[in-house]
Each structure stands twice: as C-alpha cells, then as structure tokens.
Amino acid sequence: MHSKLVSFFQNRSTAEIARDLLGRELTYDSPNGLVGGLIVETEAYLGPTDCAAHSYGGHRSPANEGLYCVGGSLYIYSRRQYYFLDISTQEKDNPEGILIRAIQPTIGQEIMLANRIKGGFELTNGPGKFMQAFGVVDKSADLLLLTDSPFTVNLDHKKTPNTIAASPRIGINASDATWANAPLRFYVSGNPFVSRLRKRDYDLANFGWR
C-alpha cells in the first residue's frame, strides 16, 4: 500500500492529484463507528511560492510539519472549534498539499448527524463541517501516513464526475493577485454537497456523477 501511496501522491502535479481525488471515498474510523463519503471538493496548495499556502516563503514549524512529510501524510490543523484535513503531496521536504473541502456522505450518516446540529447538504459541505461530522476533536492523526491513520482514501476505485469545475480557492486574500485568482479549487460540478454552491446549480438527479 505504501508504494501505491507514493505513486498516487508524489509522481505528478498537486493540481492533478487534487482533481483525481474527486469521486474517491474518504473514510474515518471514529470512536463511534466508521464514517465517510465521496470527496467532492478539493484545493491545491503549491508550497513556498504560493502566497496562500501555510508553507509560503518556506515557513516551517511544528504546527505545519505535516506538509513537509512524505506525500500521503496528514496535515491536520484547527481554526476556532473546527479541524481541517490536508494531505501532503510530493516528496519529503517539498511542502505542497491538498485541502479536502467537502464530501458526499456514504457511510455512517446517523453517526455524522449526531455530531452536527445541521443535516441535509449542510452536514458535510465544508472542510470544518465534514470533520465535525466525522467526530474529529483533536490533531492526533497529524503527521501520520494515511496507511497508519484512522483515515483512508480509496485509491482503487472512484466515482466519475460528469464535469470537474475549477475556480479560485475560497477565502484567499493573498497580496499577489495571481495566487488569489489561481484556479486551484476543484469540485464536482452540480454536486449539492460542494461548499457555497448556488441552489440553482444543484444537480439533484445525479449529484454531478456519470
């Protein structure tokens, strides 16, 4: 499995990997049972030259060390009461990564609903929301390889999107407009679990899948 991780998370551009994660099932072995869903939205962060990256300018600290780990490692960080899940890409010490922004639930919906007040599409349509729904309450999986963690990503099978859309990343106020406007956010077009998707753009028949 380690060689498969290396092949998937290191041998191509981070943007390509972010696109390829769409439609793959992300699961978490929570204390209350297995939860998970199809990844429907990701963002790529391209390391020291990317003004929006946590490793911009070569910044390195214990807090963001996960980005510097070998591709396929977890970088978990918190903002207020929420936790966020990044997966490192590229070789060790090349701090690029991908933020998982939203999932479409497939496993353990009742467990997830018990962890969040809001259900429906609001259950997992954001990076902090789905982690709260998963029941993640600490950074204990930070720095771990996916294969050694309670998280898994199915690298063998994926659901195919009809269309993959690209846009600027959410909430980026980079001083460099080139990075602020870079189309490094990828999502399944029409999937109602994508964050900030307008209701008129929902594909309620197929959720954006073939």
Average pLDDT over residues 109-134: 97
Tell me: pLDDT of 120 over 70. yes
Q: Residue 175 and residue 51: Cα distance in Å, rounded?
A: 7
**136-165 pLDDT, tens digit each:** 999 999 999 999 999 999 999 999 999 999
**pLDDT on residue 3:** 80
| Structure confidence at residue 1 (pLDDT) | 62
Question: Mean pLDDT, to the nearest integer, of 102-130?
Answer: 97
Is the pLDDT at 206 greater than 90? The verdict is yes
Tokens of 183: 């189309």
Question: Would you tell me which CATH number, out of the four given (3.40.1000.10, 3.30.200.20, 3.90.1150.10, 3.10.300.10), belongs to the domain 2-201?
Answer: 3.10.300.10
Domain positions in the chain: 2-201
**Percent of the chain scoring above 90 in pLDDT:** 90
Q: Return the ∠ at Cα 108 (arms to 121 and 140), rounded to 5°.
A: 100
CA–CA separation, 53 and 58 (whole Å):
10
Q: What is the model's pLDDT at position 173? A: 77
Q: Are 142 and 67 in contact (CB under 8 A)?
A: no
Token couple for 84: 């966020």
Q: Does pLDDT of 199 surpass 90?
A: yes
Residue 70 to residue 87: CA distance in whole angstroms? 10
What average pLDDT does the structure give for the chain? 96
Provide the pLDDT for residue 174: 64
Residue 176 confidence (pLDDT): 78
pLDDT bracket for residue 20 (50, 70, 90): very high
pLDDT band at 117 (very low <50, low <70, confident <90, very high): confident
- Tell me what pLDDT residue 104 has: 99
Residue 61 CB: number of other CB atoms within 10 A? 9
- For the whole prediction, is pTM greater than 0.85? yes
Kindly report the three-state secondary structure assignment for every residue of 97-161: EEEEEEEEEEECHHHHHHHCCCCHHHHCCCHHHHHHHHCCCCCCCCCCEHHHCCEEECCCCCCCE
pLDDT at 182: 96
* pLDDT at residue number 177: 86
Position 53 pLDDT exceeds 90: yes
